[in-house]
Structure 1
Amino acid sequence: MQIPIEWQYLNIAIKNTKEKPPYIFEPYENPIGRFQLSCYPLSDAPLEFKKITQEELSSKKWRHSIDCSEKNETHIFICARDDQALTAKYIYNINLRNDSRILDQLKITHSVLDSIVIVPLQERIIAANLDKYDRFLASLVASYDLLYSAINSNSYIELIIVCANQIDAFLRLGIVIKKQLQSCSNDIEIKYLFQDENEKGILERSVFNHALELGIINQTLHNELSQLYNLRNRVVHRYIISPINTRDMVEVSTKYLEHLEKVRILLREIEEQQIGKSFGIYGNGFVRAKSFDNVEIRRAHSWANDKHLLKRFNRKITSEKK
């Protein structure tokens, strides 16, 4: 479904809340209501679905009702789509009934409901991988806040760590795109972009090796990145127990920033190889924009907000009304 940029996904924002139904959203700024969506296999559908006629099931239209309690008013929407039972709610304080802000949010809610599509079974793996790819990009976007914060505060250890993470991320994305170019496919080798808590991930040195094998980097750059990685480990793990000085970290930080730019340019070249193809992350007729518009900037800011979940880095998302 198409979630408005202004809406924050709360399941990951609220501590100890699992990513399971209901999936909860509310505006980043001045929330006065909350949208919830639950999705179940039709075989496990709640009792209210027993009341839906076969004609309603075929029409795929939303059945709308309003429930009132002492404190809240809830708009309830239920619908069956393909093999899934969907229940959506928009909840707000009953004192806000007919408030223009609530009416605006209800219009948005209807647009969101109209946008919902059940991904065909055979396409659900790639859909899940694309979601992980988006989360990867969100983390990469947010990492620049940490990078600039480290630069501005002369926090050398943090700068080295963030640069190392970004170089690793650029190479991982380059590997995924290069493999798509070789196979002329949309397949995303998600093991490079996502590592679950209990998974054994691909280590940075292995990423360097894979990038070398695919021709993304040459042997000289591979050696330089390996040497930098050794320096990073020395700074992170042996700063106190080794002769390294804080002054030495200035040079290491500078080298990391230089190599970060080298790898970024290499990634851009690989991306451009795929633009205009009929496959891949950057294929299907996409072209590189000369500049970002306000919508793309707000989307990037929302990604960063969701990754940080700290007021220190929080950005305003709502578009200014003219």
Structure 2
Amino acid sequence: MKHFTEPNGKFIIELPNDWQYKNKIVSDEEISPFSFEKYGKSIGCFQISCYSSIEKEFSKIDAQKVDNGNLNFITARMDGGGFNMHLWYAVVDDHLFMIKYIYDTAKANSKIIKNELLKAEKALKTLELLGETNRKKALVLDKYEKFMSSLAASFDIKNQAFKKRSFIEFIIIVASQIDAYLRLCIVMKKQLNEKTDEIDIKYLSQSETDKPVMEKQIYKLSKELEIIDDNTYSKLFELYELRNKMVHRYIISEITTKEIHLLAFDYEEICEVVRINLKNVEETQAKEKIGIYKRGCPVNEDLPKEFINFLYSQVNDKHSLKNLYRKI
């Protein structure tokens, strides 16, 4: 199961790993209803709407408490026009949840629809309207998970670029990975220094309205926190200037394609240095039992299939391209 967090942190729900969030794919609007469908060929659609009493008038059926799962739902059916619709309603505090599962009437008796409805029922047991404190925590965790899944997805792009010998693309994605590794190091080093499990999310997530923490700032802060040494710091700035020359002045400068090929290998080499530094910080957290890795560093052999499917699902959502989907 994977978590879906409403964009403003209003509610959370656990959903099947093989369901894909559709709002961002179909449109840019992340508002009710929030829609989910099984990866691949569409079978049915699961939709969640959440409205406050200010947004929508609704009858005051018995209100349930925030920060609680296992809600009691009023159920209904609305079939017609070639489609069947299962509905669930619940009022929590001053909000109304309205949930639908819609599918083709012709598939009503199929095993796959019955299975999808069971998944919907299971998911609804995890639905929670969050209070203000838990909303902030949920949003931080959601942004952290998206950062990690984006980092995982970047290896697909990197491997594609290498196979195609597209070294400009390769350099850009490796530079992004270095930046990501250092951002993680900064977050974890601050956790160690401040002896806290809190994640300073400004380093891992950047919306259109957030004040950006730029790449050069990340290099400088990494040196200040002794994540990287002077040699690595100087090398990162040297590569940064060469990368900018490649991107912005390939045509108007004397830089050659051969030099770009060599630059790709230099970037991969320094990326490995930074990755090892990240590993060292992770191990320090595990040893001191502080921060993200306070419970230890997982190894591949320890990862259950459910976790692998969760990661595949997150990466699939990041790509949103069928040719890069992993089967779950």
Which residue identity does 1:257 align to in structure 2? E
Q: 1:4 aligns with which of 16, 37, 45?
A: 16
Which residue of 217, 227, 236 maps to 1:216?
A: 227
Give the Cα–Cα distance (whole angstroms) in 1 for the partners of residues 262 and 159 of structure 2: 17
User: How does the TM-score come out when normalised to structure 1?
Assistant: 0.90
CA displacement 1:270-291 (0-9 Å, x = unmatched): 12222376653233x3542343
User: Deviations for 1:275-312, whole angstroms, at most 9, x for unmatched residues?
Assistant: 376653233x3542343333233222222221122233
Q: For the structure 1 residues 211 and 55, does the alpha-carbon distance in structure 2 shift closer, same or farther, using more than 3 Å as the test? A: closer
User: Unaligned stretches of 5+ in structure 2?
Assistant: 1-12
- CA separation of 1:5 and 1:286: change in aligned 2, threshold 3 A: farther
Please state if 1:37 is matched with 2:37: no
The 5-angstrom pairing of residues 108-147 of structure 1 reads: 108-147=119-158
Pairs within 5 Å for 1:1-322: 1-14=13-26, 16-47=27-58, 49-50=59-60, 52-53=61-62, 60-275=71-286, 280-283=291-294, 285-291=295-301, 292-317=303-328
| Separation in 2, partners of 1:198, 1:147 | 29
1: CA distance between counterparts of 2:109 and 2:308? 32
Secondary structure of 1:220's aligned partner: helix
Query: Share of identical aligned residues, percent?
Result: 36
SS for the counterpart of 1:206 is helix
CA RMSD of aligned residues (A): 2.2
Change (3 A) 1:258 1:56: closer
CA distance in 1, matches of 2:320, 2:297: 32
Report the alpha carbon displacement of residue 101 of structure 1 after superposing the two structures with TM: 1.1
Deviations 1:156-207 (A, max 9, x none): 1111101100000100111111111222223222221111124341111110
Letter in 2 for 1:206: Q
1:127-155, Cα deviation, whole Å (9 max, x unpaired): 11111111111211111111111111111
- How many residues were matched structurally? 313
The range that moved more, 65-74 or 271-280, is 271-280
SS in 2 for 1:115: coil
Q: Distance in 1 between matches of 2:86 and 2:54?
A: 24
Distance 1:147 1:290 in 2: 21
Cα-to-partner distance string for 1:227-275 (whole Å, 9 max, x where unaligned): 1111111111111111110011111100101111111111111122223
Amino acid of the structure 1 residue aligned with 2:137:
I
